[in-house]
């Protein structure tokens, strides 16, 4: 069976983790994967802090840090990605690394945090566009935007796309996920 993949896309703090973790919780066939995890691990290692968990900086990602020699963690991640990794290894590098990780421990389905169309390309080629969906999360009402970020809402021309709003509280967002995607998600993992 070819795994199903849902790419989840949106600005920082819009609810991508909530979406991915909720799907993983209610449908055990799904596993949540974050392309940014690889980048953040690389950046921690580059600055001599591979001892830190990859998500250590999440609550302070927009504050200058001595660890990153005065850069904000988000700035350090962007520099590593956009100045070194992508120019050296190509625009699809994080998709290729994520695909390698996915293939090392195969699951029936994945929710993949995706910030760039080209990150999705290797995964779409491996699993087929018919086995992929794209969910874009919008949370402008909560002040979430791509301002100061190198990412944006993406379009994957060969992949069916959906948009969901997250402008309320967490419980309301989870209710909207279940209402809008519940049946589709169950079908993707072969449920009823």
Per-residue pLDDT at 108 exceeds 70: yes
This prediction has a pTM of 0.86
Sheet holding 132-138, edge to edge: 30-34, 109-113, 4-9, 132-138, 160-165
CA distance 130 to 192: 19
Element (H, E) at 8: strand 4-9
Q: What is the DSSP letter of 143?
A: T
Instruction: Give how far Cα 136 sits from Cα of 103, 166, 170, Å.
Output: 24, 10, 17
CA distance 62 to 51: 21
Tell me: the pLDDT tens digits for 73-88?
989 999 999 999 999 9
Tell me: the pLDDT tens digits for 33-81?
988 899 999 999 999 999 999 999 988 988 999 999 999 998 999 999 9
**Cβ(79)–Cβ(73) below 8 Å:** no
CA distance 162 to 133: 8
25-30 mean pLDDT: 83
- Residues in contact with 168: Cβ distance below 8 Å, sequence separation at least 6, in sequence order: none
Pairing of strands 4-9, 109-113: parallel
Q: Which of 61, 56, 32 is nearest to 44 (CA)?
A: 56
Measured from the Cβ of residue 2, the count of other Cβ atoms closer than 10 Å reads 10
Segments making up each domain of the chain, as ranges: 4-188
pLDDT in the model for residue 166: 93
Q: Which CATH architecture does the domain made up of 4-188 adopt? A: 3-Layer(aba) Sandwich (3.40)
Tell me: the pLDDT tens digits for 119-171?
999 999 999 999 999 999 999 888 888 887 778 899 999 999 999 999 878 89
More confident residue, 116 or 168: 116
Task: Provide the mean pLDDT of the chain.
Answer: 90
Give me the torsion for CA of 33, 36, 131, 20, rounded to 10°: 50
pLDDT in the model for residue 85: 96
Confidence of residue 192 (pLDDT cuts 50, 70, 90): very low
102-109 mean pLDDT: 86
């Amino acid at each position: 069976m070819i795994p199903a993949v849902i790419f989840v896309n949106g600005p920082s703090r819009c609810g991508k983790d909530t979406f991915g973790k909720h799907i993983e919780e209610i449908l055990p066939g799904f596993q949540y994967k974050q392309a940014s995890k690889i980048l953040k691990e690389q950046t921690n290692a580059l600055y001599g802090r591979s001892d830190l968990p990859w998500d250590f900086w999440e609550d302070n990602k927009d504050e200058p840090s001595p660890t990153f020699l005065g850069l904000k963690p988000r700035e350090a991640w962007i520099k590593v990605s956009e100045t070194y990794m992508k120019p050296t290894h190509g625009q699809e590098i994080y998709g290729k690394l994520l695909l390698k990780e996915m293939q090392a421990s195969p699951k029936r389905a994945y929710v993949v945090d995706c910030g760039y169309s080209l990150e999705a390309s290797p995964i779409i080629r491996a699993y087929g566009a018919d086995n992929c969906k794209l969910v874009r999360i919008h949370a402008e009402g909560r002040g979430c935007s791509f301002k100061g970020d190198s990412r944006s809402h993406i379009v994957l021309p060969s992949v069916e796309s959906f948009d969901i709003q997250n402008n309320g509280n967490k419980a309301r967002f989870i209710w909207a996920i279940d209402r809008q995607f519940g049946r589709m998600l169950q079908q993707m993992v072969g449920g009823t």
